[in-house]
Chains A and B, each alone.
Chain A
C-alpha cells in the first residue's frame, strides 16, 4: 500500500507528468470534437493522420527549442532564432531559385549547405558578442533579431522567393521510412543533441557554466568557449528549422518565416522544466513542451475556436500548465505526505539539562 502510494507520488512528482497530462487532455478534447482525430492510417507506405500532422508541424519548433535549451542552460537567451531561420531559409531558396535545374539533388544540397553556413556565421556572431565582448545575451541577440529580419528581406530584395524544387520540398513534407521526413530530422537532431550532451561531459559542463560561471572558470572550464558554442548550436538548429518552414510552403518570406518562434521556443523550454536562470536543462522536457505548444496551436485551428479568443485560450493553458507544475502551487493543495527518510544513528539516550 505504502509502496503503491510512494510510486504514485514518484510518477505524479515527475517533472514531465503534468505537461504530459495536459498534452493528453488536449488530444482527448480534439478527439471528442472530431473522432477521426486519433486515427492514423498507412497510405502508399506513408503514415497519415492528425496526430502525425501535429508532430510534423512541431518539428521546427522542437529543433529551435533544443538549441534554445542549451543557450538557456548557460544562463543566456537567444532571441535571434526566428531571424536566423528566416535568413537560412532565404539563402537556400535564393540559391535554388537561381539554378536552372531546381530539382537537382546537388543544387538542393549546396543550397542547404550555404544556408547552414550563413547560419553558423550568425551563431558565431552572437557567440562573440556574448562570450567574447560580454554583452548581455538578451540585447546581443536582439541586435540580430532586428537586423536578421532585414538581412532576410535584403537577400530576397523584399520579395517572397518562390521555388519549385522537389528535393527541397521533401524536407518539409516528404517521407522517409513511412514517417514524414521532418519528423525524422527532428528525431535525429534530438538524438544527436542528447548524445552530444549526455553521452559526453558537455551537458554537465554547460550546466556548470550556467549554474556558476566563475566557479566553473576556477575549476578549469573554458566557460567562454562553451558559451560561444551554444549560440552556434542554437543557430544551427534554427537553420534546419528554417529549411523546414520554407520547404513546407516552397517559398521564403523574410518577414514571416519563424515569426515569434523565439517566444514559443522559450516557452517550450520552460514548460519542459528548464529554469531561465540557467543550470539544469532537460531535453526530453523541451520536446514535450514543444509538442504541447504545437498541439495547442493546431487545436485552436482544428476546433474552430475563433482567432479572436485563441490567444486567451493559449494564455489559460500556459498558466495552467505552469501552475500545476509549480511545487509552491501544488504544496497548497496537498496534504503533507510521509517522506522516506534516511535513518539516523541513534544518539545516546542521555538528555541532560541544567538548571536555569
Chain B
C-alpha cells in the first residue's frame, strides 16, 4: 500500500510570504508609499523629526491601541478607553492640584484603569454579557467620573509633571519626549507578551474559537479578564502620557478616541472577529492615522469639514489598496 502523505500541500516557493503576514506587509508598504508622497509634496516632510513627532504627538494613542489589540484579538472590544484616558488625566490633575506627592498620584492613576478593566472583564466573563455593552457602560461611567470631578479643565503645575513633559531626549539633531519612549517601550513589551508568553497564545486561541479554547483546557475566563485589565492599564498609561502632553486634565478630552483606536488596530490588519493580528500591525495603523493627520496639518488650507472628508477619503483609499494587495497575493 502506498503511503500518500495525508493531504500533502502543493510545495511553496521559499520567497512566498505566508498569507497571514500579507495584511501587515501590505500596510507597511502602503505606509511607505504615503510617506514618500508626503515627502514629494512638502519638503519639510523629509525631516526625520516629523517621524519623531508622530510618536511624540500620538504616543498616548499608540499605547491605548496596544491595549485594544489584546482585547480585539480575543474577539472582544473595549469602548471605555477614551473615557478612561480622560479619567486618568482628570484624577491625576485633581490629585496633583490637591498637593499629593507625584509618586503617589502616579500609582493611583495607574491603578484606576486596570481596576475598572478588571471589573469589566469579570462582568463580561462571569455573567456572559456582550463586551460592547459592558465597556459602553464603562465608558459612560468613566466619563461621568470626569465631569463629577470637575466640569472644567484642571491645569497641572506640579514640578515633576512639567519637567517630565518638557524633557527632551536628544538623538542626534532630533529629539523625542519621555512619553514617546514610554510608548515605544509599551509596544515592545506587548509584542513580546503576545509572541512569547502563554497568556499571549491564549489570547489568540480565544479569538480563534472560544468554545474550542475552553474544550482544549485553556484558561478562558482568566485570559478574558486579563485582556480587559491590560487594556485598562494601557488606557491609564495613555492617560498619563496625555496629561504630560497637555499638562492638564479636561473632562471632555479624548471623546470618541475609542473609534480612532479601533480604526488603528483594524487598519493594522487585526480582525475584529479576533484571533488574527499583530502588535506591529497596530503600530502601523497608528502611524497611518498620524500621517494622515500630519499631511493635513502640513497642507494647512483645509477647513474643518474638508478635513473630515479628506480623512475619510484617505482612510478609504488606504483600506481599499490594502484590500486589493491582499487579494492579489492570495
Contacts and interface: CB of A to CB of B under 8 A. Distances in A.
Interface of A: 79, 129, 133-136, 138-140, 142-154, 158, 254, 263, 266-267, 270-271, 275-276, 307-316, 318-319, 322-323, 326-329
Contacts of B266: 136, 138-139
30 contacts: A79-B259, A136-B272, A139-B263, A139-B319, A142-B263, A143-B312, A149-B308, A150-B305, A150-B312, A151-B305, A154-B309, A158-B303, A254-B305, A270-B130, A270-B132, A270-B133, A276-B130, A308-B144, A308-B147, A314-B140, A315-B139, A315-B144, A318-B133, A318-B136, A319-B137, A322-B129, A323-B127, A326-B128, A326-B129, A329-B129
Interface string B159-180: 0000000000000000000000
A271 B134 CA distance: 12
Nearest to A79: B259
A171 B319 CA distance: 38
Contacts of B305: 149-154, 158, 254
Contacts of A318: 133, 136-137, 140
Contacts, number: 136
A139 B130 contact: no
A135 B137 CA distance: 28
Contacts of B271: 136
Contacts of B313: 147
A134 B308 contact: no
Nearest to A324: B127
A145 B123 contact: no
A181 B88 CA distance: 45
B323 interface: yes
A149 to B, nearest CB: 5
Contact of B308 (A150, A312, A314): A150
Contacts of B147: 307-309, 311
Nearest to A140: B319
Nearest to A145: B259
A342 to B, nearest CB: 26
Contacts of A143: 312, 315-316, 319
Interface in B278-327: 303-313, 315-316, 319-320, 323
B14 interface: no
Nearest to A156: B305
Given A136-B271, A136-B272, A142-B259, A309 B144 contact: yes
A275 B312 contact: no
A149 B308 CA distance: 7
Contacts of B308: 146-147, 149-150, 153
Contact of A138 (B134, B137, B262): B262
A275 B303 CA distance: 40
B134 A319 contact: yes
B309 A311 contact: no
A210 to B, nearest CB: 13
Q: Contact residue range for chain B? A: 35 or more
Given A138-B266, A309-B148, A315-B137, A146 B303 contact: no
B224 interface: no
Contacts of B306: 150, 154
A314 B128 CA distance: 20
A267 B127 CA distance: 18
Nearest to B265: A139
B114 interface: no
A319 B151 CA distance: 24
Contacts of A329: 126-129
Interface in B34-58: none
Given A267-B136, A311-B140, A139 B267 contact: yes
Contacts of A307: 147
Nearest to B147: A308
A146 B136 contact: no
A275 B130 contact: yes
Most buried by A among B138, B143, B267, B319: B319
Nearest to A320: B137
Given A138-B262, A309-B148, A310-B144, A147 B311 contact: yes
Contacts of B138: 315
A312 B148 contact: yes
Contacts of B136: 263, 266-267, 318
Nearest to A270: B133
A319 B119 CA distance: 12
A264 to B, nearest CB: 10
Contacts of B263: 139, 142
Contacts of A138: 262, 266, 272
A302 B194 CA distance: 49
Contacts of A271: 133
A323 B311 CA distance: 38
Given A138-B262, A308-B144, A308-B151, 20 more contacts: A129-B316, A135-B323, A139-B262, A139-B272, A142-B263, A143-B312, A143-B315, A147-B313, A149-B308, A150-B305, A150-B307, A150-B312, A153-B305, A153-B308, A154-B309, A158-B305, A312-B141, A314-B140, A322-B130, A328-B128
A328 to B, nearest CB: 4
Contacts of B126: 328-329
B145 interface: yes
Contacts of B132: 266, 270, 276
B22 to A, nearest CB: 14
A69 to B, nearest CB: 14
A147 B263 CA distance: 14
Contacts of B312: 143-144, 146-148, 150
A323 B124 CA distance: 10
A329 B128 CA distance: 8
Contact of A315 (B130, B140, B259): B140
Contacts of B307: 150
Contacts of B133: 267, 270-271, 318-319, 322
